[in-house]
Structure 1
Amino acid sequence: MAGPTSRSGDSDTLCSTSTEMTLLPPPTYSSSDPTSNDFRTLTVSNAGIGNLILSPPSSSSTLFYVKNSQWPGNPSVTLSLGAKGGHILGVLKLGVFSENTVGLGNPNRDNIDYESLRRVSNWTHGTYEFEFGRMGDRRRFTWQRTRQPLFADQPDMELRENAESGADGQVLAVYKGCQGLWSTKRGTFYVRRGLDRQAGVEKKLEDWSNWELMVLLTGCGIIEGSRRRARARRSGGGGG
């Protein structure tokens, strides 16, 4: 899957990627502690009505902007670099009567390959799956809800690779929601660092990889779906 690339002369160095990605950290990574150096940390905060900003811990700078929209024809979630109106890195569409889809790139100018973000059970929103990677190296991943208080509008979640591809069950990402009613902070993402494969040599990326951007997009899509259902319940519209 070809993803967003840096533009010469712009400030998009954080989204530099290669055309071939390996999806998991090396097998020598054994830590599942999201506070370890194996993980990147992003604080999720409110940005106006319904939108979010993702920032490094203890920083006022906006690394990513998340625009959430229920307007017909618009993506449900748009991930941009920097402030609102920045370079679009990817979009996600929440389906009402169709599947959820997610893709990296700017739909206004790129030919995006969309992936399905599939709800595993018709009876619960606790588990979602998606695939990522090129043909011959495609793998399946699962976001699993670990906690959602009764009156909360967002879950805590963990991401793992499905065991069918030989995964060892290690945690690849974590989202911990902040449930304070008047809190500006919405939660925290912990994302295990991706790898870049160039000329057969693996190296850790200093910048954000396609894999990490896909993790953020799918995570934000699940959060937005949960928030919509919570709003529907409060307004008497149900939502499960």
Structure 2
Amino acid sequence: MPSPTDSKLANVGINDPEHFKDLTLYNSSLLNIRICPSDSDVTAFYVDNSVLEPNTPNITLYNGADSKAPIIGAVHLTLTSTNTIGLGNPTTDPNGVIWEKLERVSKWSHATYQFNYSINAPGPAAKYTWKRVSKTPIIGNYSLQLVEESKPDVVLAAFMTGSGVRVKTRGRLLIREGNGELWERMVLLTALSVIELTRRRLRRRRFR
């Protein structure tokens, strides 16, 4: 996937890309995703999106190239209420999973989602917001920006939908470095949640 132009990065509030982990999301199948560093073809994470299997996570994040790799996160989604984000493996270590909520801010819009998370536990959890910074997606083109509520001018992450061959790329995710591996995984899981919720809404519109 080609690097975004400086103007596109500016649109999501990033003017120091050298301080961000840069990831590209590729479509592995109709639903699933593989995630690579943007300068590499090596798959760092595999994402299984499930919509049909009952009593299973809607999103499962694997730390490796496919679903045989260790599970490091899981998500339970709903289009109308609170989504649940889990850091860890709920299959092998359910008591060790850190659960957080990802909630829509507005009853009437899907443009903003919030979650609480404490980077350096113990301590008070901070509130973080994923917000859409482009027009309402019609054919799947949109951008997202992550900020902390108390520091709204500091962009912590951003997602931009893919350009070029849409059947190949889902988009590009940049995560600010320096807050630790667990934080980066929480950002990744919440971003994947918003992306998948958007995909489901767009699909419902097409088939109405």
| Partners of 2:154 and 2:45 in 1: CA distance | 26
- Can you list the C-alpha shifts for 1:37-57, whole angstroms capped at 9, x where unaligned? 210100111001201111011
Residue equivalent to 1:75: 57
What is the alpha-carbon distance in structure 2 between the residues aligned to residue 109 and residue 172 of structure 1? 31
Letter in 1 for 2:33: L
Structure 1 contact 115–132 (Cα < 8 Å) conserved = yes
Code of the aligned partner of 2:42: S
TM-aligned CA distance change 1:123 to 1:97, over 3 Å: closer
CA distance in 1 between counterparts of 2:194 and 2:137 reads: 17
The alignment partner of 1:160 has SS state of strand
Matched, 1:124 2:124: no
Contact 1:154/1:223, CA 8 A, preserved across alignment: no
- Give 5+ residue unaligned stretches, structure 1: 1-31, 197-208
Matches of 1:34 and 1:93, distance apart in 2: 34
Given the alignment, which residue of 60, 84, 103 partners 1:101?
84
Over 3 Å counting, the alpha-carbon distance change for 1:83 and 1:153 in structure 2 is same
5 Å-filtered alignment, 1:41-60, equals 41-60=22-41
Aligned to 1:233: 205
Equivalent position to 1:218, from 190, 193, 196? 190
Which of 179, 182, 205 aligns to 1:195? It is 179
In 1, the alpha carbon distance for the partners of 2:38 and 2:156 equals 19
Q: Distance in 2 between matches of 1:154 and 1:106?
A: 32
SS at match of 1:37: helix
2:125 maps to 1:138 = yes
Amino acid at match of 2:162: C
Structure 2 residue aligned with 1:175: 159
**Contact 1:44–1:52 at 8 Å: present in 2 too?**
yes
Moved more, 225-234 or 141-150: 141-150
Q: Could you say which structure has the higher helix fraction?
A: 2
Partner Cα distance (2:163, 2:56) in 1: 28
Note closer, same or farther for the CA distance 1:146–1:81 as it changes in structure 2 (3 Å cut): same
Number of residue-to-residue matches in the alignment: 190
- Between the aligned partners of 2:20 and 2:83, the Cα distance in structure 1 is 27
Query: SS of the residue aligned with 1:59?
Result: coil
Q: Secondary structure at the match of 1:221?
A: helix
Structure 2: give runs of 5+ residues left out of the alignment. 1-12
Shift of 1:179: 5.5
Give the aligned CA root-mean-square deviation in angstroms: 1.9
Residue 147 of structure 1: CA displacement? 1.4
1:219 partner letter: A
| Poorly superposed stretches of 4+, deviation over 3 Å | 179-183
For 1:34 and 1:44, the matched residues in 2 are separated by 22
